[in-house]
Chains A and B, each alone.
Chain A
Amino acid sequence: MQRQLANMKQSLFDQGYLDEQFIQLEELQDDTNPNFVEEVVTLYYRDSVRLIQNIENALDKNPLDFAKLDSHMHQFKGSSSSIGARKVKIECTQFREYCRAGNGEGCKRTFQQVKKEYATLKKKLEAYFQFARQAGPVEKACRPK
């Protein structure tokens, strides 16, 4: 089962959903904190609800306040980066570029992408952690090849 777990993780990296930061978090896990990564990710998803709502609200305004949009997205991008959410982070960066260009349509379009990647990663990580719990305690973080 550990083998299957490793494959799941490898695939998340191969497909570009996660980056090096996720591994950094795994290296902070030990016997005293065996579920640290899952805890951080859970915290991220819980906290992100608020951050995403802020952006939704700001996107509903007319005219758009790009400075505010950028600021909200900066916060969300920061959290996403902290858990290694690579694709989410990429879309966030694109969003911020549209903010700086004052491109409202670009922002709205990209935000749909942000939410899509966010939801996809959430599903995949939920499956991963559920499987990890079944597979038993992790000995040591393994670096994907």
Chain B
Amino acid sequence: MAVDEMGGDCSSSGAQELHVLAVDDSLVDRKVIERLLKISCCKVTAVESGSRALQYLGLDGERSSVEFDELKVNLIMTDYSMPGMTGFELLKKIKGSSRLREIPVVIMSSENVLARIDRCLEEGAEEFLVKPVKLSDVERLRDFILRGEDKNKTEITRKRKTCDDSFFATLGIFTIIPQM
């Protein structure tokens, strides 16, 4: 894994560059998400598993907090279905850490399962993206995180992103989802 610099025309207006940690066991998906993020002027570190992600974040107890500050991560994007530690388990570990819980975590999944989405949002995920992730998703996320970084703590609205937004329109009311 490597921290890569951005390329192209990202140097305008002194905009802050976000550092995103991308976690996905798929080689193909890592390559794509890396490109999406670089085009959106983000620094990317891509790793292939939850345990590598925790290692990188210093949650395995091996890295000192001084080192960690130099590699400040502004956003974590993780696949849901991964062998070993799932994205959901990684999310729980991050939100369970006093040092890391403020870092927004976004879950990505090819499976558009309502119960899964809700479970992730309940556990503190910022957003749930259905794969394949688009450039517009990443740009929207980036802008959202940048605004959050600028502001002082304000309540962040949770979003659901599914393939079929009209599903919620037809529902009209909030449904109570049983705890999984």
- A residues with a Cβ closer than 8 A to B are 21, 24-25, 27-28, 30, 32-33, 36, 39-40, 43-44, 47, 74-75, 77-79, 81-83
Q: A28 contacts B7, CB within 8 Å?
A: no
Expressed in whole angstroms, the minimum distance between the Cβ of A131 and any Cβ of chain B is 23
Q: Inside 8 A of B31's CB, which chain A residues have their CB?
A: 39-40, 43
Select from chain B the residue with minimum beta-carbon distance to A89: B110
**Residue in A30, A33, A78 whose CB lies within 8 Å of B131:** A78
> How many A-B residue contacts, CB cutoff 8 Å?
53
Q: How many residues belonging to B are interface residues under a CB distance threshold of 8 Å? A: 18
Query: Given known contacts A28-B36, A82-B28, what 5 new A-B pairs fall within 8 Å (CB)?
Result: A25-B32, A30-B8, A74-B110, A78-B29, A79-B29
Select from chain A the residue with minimum beta-carbon distance to B27: A47
Q: How far is the CA of A135 from the CA of B68 in the complex (A)?
A: 48
Q: How far is the CA of A56 from the CA of B32 in the complex (A)?
A: 27
Select from chain A the residue with minimum beta-carbon distance to B7: A32
Q: Inside 8 A of A47's CB, which chain B residues have their CB?
A: 26-28
| CB within 8 Å for A28 and B35 given contacts A21-B132, A82-B132 | yes
Q: How far is the CA of A4 from the CA of B95 in the complex (A)?
A: 53
Q: A79 contacts B28, CB within 8 Å?
A: yes
Expressed in whole angstroms, the minimum distance between the Cβ of B137 and any Cβ of chain A is 10
Top-4 shortest CB links A-B: A79-B28, A32-B7, A47-B27, A28-B35
**Would you call B72 an interface residue if the criterion is a C-beta within 8 Å of the partner chain's C-beta atoms?**
no
**Residue in B7, B29, B135 whose CB lies within 8 Å of A82:** B29
Select from chain A the residue with minimum beta-carbon distance to B33: A82
**Would you call B112 an interface residue if the criterion is a C-beta within 8 Å of the partner chain's C-beta atoms?**
no
Q: B26 contacts A82, CB within 8 Å?
A: yes
**Would you call B134 an interface residue if the criterion is a C-beta within 8 Å of the partner chain's C-beta atoms?**
yes
**Would you call B81 an interface residue if the criterion is a C-beta within 8 Å of the partner chain's C-beta atoms?**
yes
**Would you call B39 an interface residue if the criterion is a C-beta within 8 Å of the partner chain's C-beta atoms?**
yes
Q: A78 contacts B7, CB within 8 Å?
A: no
Q: Per-position contact with A for B33-47: 1 when CB-CB < 8 Å, else 0?
A: 001100100000000
Q: How far is the CA of A75 from the CA of B27 in the complex (A)?
A: 11
Q: How far is the CA of A45 from the CA of B39 in the complex (A)?
A: 24
Q: A82 contacts B81, CB within 8 Å?
A: no
**Residue in B25, B27, B135 whose CB lies within 8 Å of A24:** B135
Expressed in whole angstroms, the minimum distance between the Cβ of A76 and any Cβ of chain B is 10
Select from chain B the residue with minimum beta-carbon distance to A47: B27
Q: B35 contacts A78, CB within 8 Å?
A: no
Q: B28 contacts A24, CB within 8 Å?
A: no
Q: Inside 8 A of A83's CB, which chain B residues have their CB?
A: 28
Select from chain B the residue with minimum beta-carbon distance to A25: B32
**Residue in B28, B29, B35, B110 whose CB lies within 8 Å of A36:** B35
**Residue in A28, A33, A75, A81 whose CB lies within 8 Å of B135:** A28
Q: B81 contacts A74, CB within 8 Å?
A: yes
Q: A33 contacts B28, CB within 8 Å?
A: no
**Residue in B26, B39, B134 whose CB lies within 8 Å of A78:** B26
Instruction: Give residues 3-43 of B contacting A (CB, 8 Å).
Output: 7-8, 25-29, 31-32, 35-36, 39
5 pairs, A vs B, C-beta closer than 8 Å: A39-B31, A74-B81, A77-B110, A79-B27, A82-B26
